[in-house]
Structure 1
Amino acid sequence: MRKSTASSPRSAPMSSPRPSLSSTVRAFVVGCIIAAYRPRPTLNVWRWAEKWINLDPLASPAFPGQYDSSINPYTRFIQEFATDPYHNEFIVMKSSQSGFTEAILNIIRYLVANKPTNILYAINALDEARKISKTRLQPSLEKCPETAQAIGENADDFGNLTMFLRGMVLYMIGAHSAGAFANKPVGMIILDELDKHPVAPDGEAETIDLARQRFKTIPDGKLIALSTPKKEEDVTYREYLTGTQHKFFVPCPHCQAMQELVWHRVKFGHCIDMLGEYDLERVKVETYYECEACKKPILESHKNEMLQAGEWRQTNPKPFPGRISCHISDLYSPFANATWGMLAMEWINAQTSIVKLQNFFNGRLGLPSKQQTAEVKEADVVKLRGAYKRGQCPFEPVLITMTSDKQGDVLKWTKAGWKATGECAIIDYGYTLVEDELLEEMDVPVECLGSTLRPTATIGLIDEGFAQTIVRDFVVRSEGRWYASKGRGGIQVRSTVHESPADHKDCKLTIYHYDDDDFKKQLYLSRIAKFQDILDGKCRVPRLWLPANIDQDLVDELIAEKLVKEKNKWGYTKEIWKKTGDKNDFGDAVKMQLVLWHILGAAYQD
């Protein structure tokens, strides 16, 4: 165990000598020999964790103190896998508040203390690997008497990303790292946030395939892969289907019928006020779950009792040999922000956006989004026209914004007015060859029908595309009126909108990277395709308005892309946006208006 003294290497000055490689190797070998003669543990992982693991309030604010598996007992399943001699793979398709991350860390802690083997933990980003190691894993290894014995005296052997422990090495890596899986003989590989992992640099393999290659010479090696799914064609859902497809069944407190918790049995339709709107206060406290057998209401207060009596059941009779897979949703979650009432309120809020609804199914229900297709026709765009002309706004807006898409030397721009509800009216559009003319256009007063106000645009978002330096020079000159942005797709996407700090010519800028697919779906599948449902009150998505006197250029560029299904090189069907026209710049500029509202809208909503 590393000594904690004032003269320890961790607190030594920079000139202190680093431990030699030979001393590290010697300590590792000696640790292997000692570990080989340790008595076999009598407790499984979760029982061992309940005895030895104490969670820090900073690392586990919801449930600090002694680890208690009864809080989310469904995680015992994966912890028992660590000592299961019959299976070597475990695939988890999970929601965001399931508690599986702590279960994974328990497996690591257990192996460090009881069954040393090299471990590789890979998550989508290196900074995330470092954060989990520094804030959750390392403190617990040092605090637990059983694992603290495995830590050597040299602090340099206990780094955030590589830990030389007694009889083993623990690697914490970002899956984007080149050669992340090369030359690392390991007995346990954990792939966290699998759907966000990249394809190998040569484009021929996914990280789960690379991980499996590491086990070719290790007969008892184990692989754990877990992720919140996004799309049906992504790796987590595909791998889940090949496994046992275990689901967690719980008993009804009234009739004892065992059942999987599913979203359509969460009931809150009775929480409607006299205006036909959801009363969110009632939704929060009156939402219940309807038993599929006796139809009686199951209350949130029954959930813990049900969880304690729950059991995992295999639903795929012919899984790939040795491969367990399971699915869990936040309907089972014990966290305060995942009660059935809270989930119902989140679902209601998600009805205003197809992207929010997809995020709800992904993050809250742990289910992938179904593949979609969409093709906007000219007639769909024409329907959006309102009784106002270019340069006017059909209502008094709470905010006026501008966007610009730069393609070559041409900048195409749009100007939009917003209601607090997210309703958007395109006020005007055009093009210019000079960035600074966008500043002049911002200052043009807008005539608001039915109002004497003549507001101007206050903020703009410009796509930096392949003209990063030119665009950022303009952003600096605008003095806070314009911001740079860029759409991303695939594994580059970290969130719907991500703020990235950037230095440019002695100025600090914020670049907004956004999920291009999400906002295209908002525009084409929600605002345009569902226009009639919006007018009829059948859909809560805010309306998109176009001026009555739009020209053919705007129409053509709003219908210049469609969403189709195509097979990739592995034969899996994927959603792909394909251009059907020569230009789609105005379409991209309108899409960017939705990005701006996503960033700013919360400050203006009622």
Structure 2
Amino acid sequence: MTATARIAGVISRAIAPRKPLTVSQWADANRVLSSKGSAEPGRWRTSRNPPLREPMDCMSARSPVRDVVCMFPIQFGKTALSENALGYTMDHNPGPVMVCLPGEVSMNKWIAQKLNPLIEETPAVRRTLTSVASRDASNTRTFKDFAGGQLYLEHGGSPSRLKSTTVRTLIVDELDEFADNLSSGDDPVAMLEGRTSAFPATSKRLYISTPGVRGVSRTEQLWNKSDQRRFHVACPECEHRQPLEWSGLQWTPDGSSCWYMCRECSAVIEEHQKTAMIAGGEWVAGNPGAPMRGYTINCLYYQLGLGPRWLDLVRMWIEAQNDPAKLKTFVNDRLAECWEDPAMRAVRHNLIADRVEPLPLRPVPAWVLAVTAGIDTQDNRLPVQLVGWGRGLRCWPIDYVELPGDPAEDDVWAALTDLLNRPIEHASGGLLRVEASAQDAAGHRTEAVKAYVRRKLVRRHMAIFGAKANNAPVLSKGTMVDVNWRNQLDKRGIKIHHVGTVGIKHHLYSLLGRDAEKQPDDRMIRFSDELEPEYFGGLVSETYNPAKNRFEKRRGGPRNEPLDTWVYAYAATHHPELRLHRYTKADWDAREARLGNSASPASDSRGTPPSERAPAPRSDSRGTQPARRNSGIVTKDGWGL
């Protein structure tokens, strides 16, 4: 070949348009798996795991798909998918690209176990790097400069670095773990999406994760907005296409053998048949037309030799039945489904709202014998809930209101004082009053709450903080916080009480769950149909995360002030001067009798029948009368009993 022909060939290759290559085609042609992190080292074959083909090809240069979310089980090729998308971008579709991991430790492991072998074993990727020298500034551990683009590796523990980077391609691994690592408090999805805003027409975002807890999982949130694709395979007998589901797997009582049952013809499908079934399978959208592509699959699709066998999975499932932690791990990691505590299923807001009774909020039912209040503190309002209590701390939410106003000003406190001191009508004709209240002081208005407690304008008003310990008691012993002029703790000052919020929420949710099968008269928590619909959503707006042993707000759910204020009102029943939780039958009987007497027309001006009138207490030498405990029951003329 002459020099002219060679030069012409080089020029023609340089100006020729790129071939319409997909990610899976690039991986089959160029990707080499390392023995350091692969069960089958050597040349990559997409045919070995066909369900990965379509999600990978969504990241191709000519694909119209912009956003992809993959809710996959462990050991299914999640990381291989992201590696192939990264290698394709560096070699065939260069531009600025970022790979995000939840934390620094996970990022360093990904670099050592995934990125470095990708560069070392795949020549097409290694050739793109402008330098492979470790001392070169263009080739650091978290930054790689390659022909036509740059690679950034970041983690959720460094939000300032994430916010300062702009890329065209974004690859996010284990999205559900980001929220716990973001010290800035930002929403991880919104913050990560902002990294690609400079490329409105060409950007691509890939989110890969096993799901977490239902209601708080970011992966679930994206999946719900996607077209929700599941991998359908044909039954070998009737050829009906269906996704493989865990409920379709059957096994003997001793777990010695298992099989899959077709949901159309009930044919028995053996595991050795799934290889051919998967090879002929396809992704089917459950929510067609959604702008985001969503893919989910489970452990039943593990190819032989690339994951546990069906029988192994059955044994894992059986072993996990009596261990909630193991069961959550299996549901998340193997079934690729969000975990939901069984107790949480019975406390969904629509189920709670269905239990309302055609009764007015006021006058309160005859069985309500005491009232407490819980107050949350926000920068522009005071959410307040009044709760009535009966025998055994049976509950009747009397009212939930939000008092508008900045707690730094006086107006909202005047409204709170009026609300808490206002008598409450009882079905017997008597009146009740709020006997104790608890207010959150852990917000931006801590000093304003403490100042209000010092003024003692309402009865038994406590300033509280949520306890950090998950096993904290309902209400701790008060801790002195005021100091005198000698810089000593002032015994006459206010005290801060810590509230065991996790334990109280468990108690509330267990009551709501048990009430599901009971008749209204037997329920421990009863609701009036005059409560606003938003109240029920807020009351169960959090879900329990067993991995962290705490409650977390549901993503996109209503505000949780109804739940918080109920918790505080329950804590107020444990006030050391009230202690409703320690009441005996005799205590409740006496309280009910006093309430009935206060409404009797034969009672005197203080609500006591003539037969039970006690002689007027004598004054001491200073003209004062002995103090007596107020029951919280008032007559219509305002006197307390």
> Which range, TM-score by smaller chain?
0.5 to 0.7
Amino acid at match of 2:541: E
In 2, the alpha carbon distance for the partners of 1:574 and 1:328 equals: 33
Q: Aligned residue for 2:65? A: 87
Amino acid at match of 2:159: A
1:327 to 296, 300, 303: 296
Q: Aligned residue for 2:309? A: 339
Q: Aligned residue for 1:49? A: 27
C-alpha distance 133-373 of structure 1, shift in aligned 2 (>3 A): same
Q: Aligned residue for 2:460? A: none
Contact kept, 8 Å, 1:565 with 1:574, in 2: the verdict is no
Q: Aligned residue for 2:282? A: 311
Q: Aligned residue for 1:230? A: 212
The secondary structure found in structure 2 opposite 1:338 is coil
2:319 to 349, 370, 374: 349
Higher strand share: 1
Q: Aligned residue for 1:111? A: 89
Q: Aligned residue for 1:415? A: none
In 2, the alpha carbon distance for the partners of 1:524 and 1:267 equals: 37
The secondary structure found in structure 1 opposite 2:46 is coil
C-alpha distance 265-571 of structure 1, shift in aligned 2 (>3 A): closer
In 1, the alpha carbon distance for the partners of 2:286 and 2:309 equals: 26
Amino acid at match of 1:74: P
**How far does residue 574 in structure 1 lie from its aligned partner after superposition?**
9.6
In 1, the alpha carbon distance for the partners of 2:191 and 2:92 equals: 27
**How far does residue 216 in structure 1 lie from its aligned partner after superposition?**
2.3
2:158 to 172, 177, 189: 177
Q: Aligned residue for 1:77? A: 54
**How far does residue 36 in structure 1 lie from its aligned partner after superposition?**
8.8
The 5 Å alignment of 1:548-559 reads none
In 2, the alpha carbon distance for the partners of 1:518 and 1:77 equals: 43
In 2, the alpha carbon distance for the partners of 1:39 and 1:109 equals: 20
TM-score, length basis structure 1: 0.55
Q: Aligned residue for 1:22? A: none
Contact kept, 8 Å, 1:176 with 1:198, in 2: the verdict is no
Contact kept, 8 Å, 2:55 with 2:295, in 1: the verdict is no
**How far does residue 564 in structure 1 lie from its aligned partner after superposition?**
6.6
TM-score, length basis structure 2: 0.52
1:301 to 264, 272, 297: 272
Contact kept, 8 Å, 1:92 with 1:226, in 2: the verdict is yes
Higher-Rg member (1/2): 2
C-alpha distance 102-518 of structure 1, shift in aligned 2 (>3 A): farther
The secondary structure found in structure 2 opposite 1:305 is helix
In 2, the alpha carbon distance for the partners of 1:113 and 1:346 equals: 41
**How far does residue 109 in structure 1 lie from its aligned partner after superposition?**
0.6
Q: Aligned residue for 2:42? A: 65
C-alpha distance 253-224 of structure 1, shift in aligned 2 (>3 A): same
1:287 to 226, 245, 258: 258
C-alpha distance 193-142 of structure 1, shift in aligned 2 (>3 A): same
- Bigger RCO of structures 1 and 2 (CA < 8 A, at least 6 apart): 1
In 2, the alpha carbon distance for the partners of 1:357 and 1:326 equals: 23
In 2, the alpha carbon distance for the partners of 1:518 and 1:230 equals: 19
- Residue identity (%): 24
The 5 Å alignment of 1:376-455 reads none
Q: Aligned residue for 1:257? A: 240
Amino acid at match of 1:565: V
Amino acid at match of 1:342: D
Does 2:151 match 1:197? no
Contact kept, 8 Å, 1:130 with 1:172, in 2: the verdict is no
1:43-69 alpha-carbon deviations (Å, 9 max, x no partner): 311122112111112211x22211111
In 1, the alpha carbon distance for the partners of 2:505 and 2:36 equals: 38
In 2, the alpha carbon distance for the partners of 1:147 and 1:180 equals: 25
Does 2:248 match 1:248? no
C-alpha distance 98-51 of structure 1, shift in aligned 2 (>3 A): same
In 1, the alpha carbon distance for the partners of 2:33 and 2:573 equals: 55
The secondary structure found in structure 2 opposite 1:127 is helix
Q: Aligned residue for 1:125? A: 103
The secondary structure found in structure 2 opposite 1:180 is helix
**How far does residue 565 in structure 1 lie from its aligned partner after superposition?**
2.2
Contact kept, 8 Å, 1:98 with 1:333, in 2: the verdict is yes
Amino acid at match of 2:557: Y
Q: Aligned residue for 1:368? A: 338
In 2, the alpha carbon distance for the partners of 1:36 and 1:187 equals: 24
Contact kept, 8 Å, 2:101 with 2:154, in 1: the verdict is yes
**How far does residue 338 in structure 1 lie from its aligned partner after superposition?**
2.5
Contact kept, 8 Å, 2:59 with 2:65, in 1: the verdict is no
Aligned residues, how many? 366
Contact kept, 8 Å, 2:71 with 2:297, in 1: the verdict is yes
Listed as ranges, the gaps of 5+ residues in structure 1 are 1-34, 273-278, 376-485, 490-515, 531-562, 585-606
In 1, the alpha carbon distance for the partners of 2:509 and 2:299 equals: 27
In 1, the alpha carbon distance for the partners of 2:128 and 2:161 equals: 25
Amino acid at match of 1:264: S
Q: Cα RMSD between the aligned structures?
A: 3.7
Does 2:124 match 1:146? yes
In 2, the alpha carbon distance for the partners of 1:262 and 1:367 equals: 11
Contact kept, 8 Å, 2:71 with 2:219, in 1: the verdict is yes
C-alpha distance 525-183 of structure 1, shift in aligned 2 (>3 A): closer
In 2, the alpha carbon distance for the partners of 1:352 and 1:168 equals: 51
Contact kept, 8 Å, 1:355 with 1:521, in 2: the verdict is no
In 2, the alpha carbon distance for the partners of 1:172 and 1:332 equals: 31
**How far does residue 75 in structure 1 lie from its aligned partner after superposition?**
0.8
**How far does residue 139 in structure 1 lie from its aligned partner after superposition?**
2.2
Does 2:149 match 1:168? yes
C-alpha distance 168-37 of structure 1, shift in aligned 2 (>3 A): farther
Contact kept, 8 Å, 1:354 with 1:522, in 2: the verdict is no
Contact kept, 8 Å, 1:373 with 1:564, in 2: the verdict is no
Q: Aligned residue for 1:565? A: 540
Q: Aligned residue for 2:169? A: 188
Listed as ranges, the gaps of 5+ residues in structure 2 are 1-12, 347-467, 472-499, 515-537, 543-552, 575-641
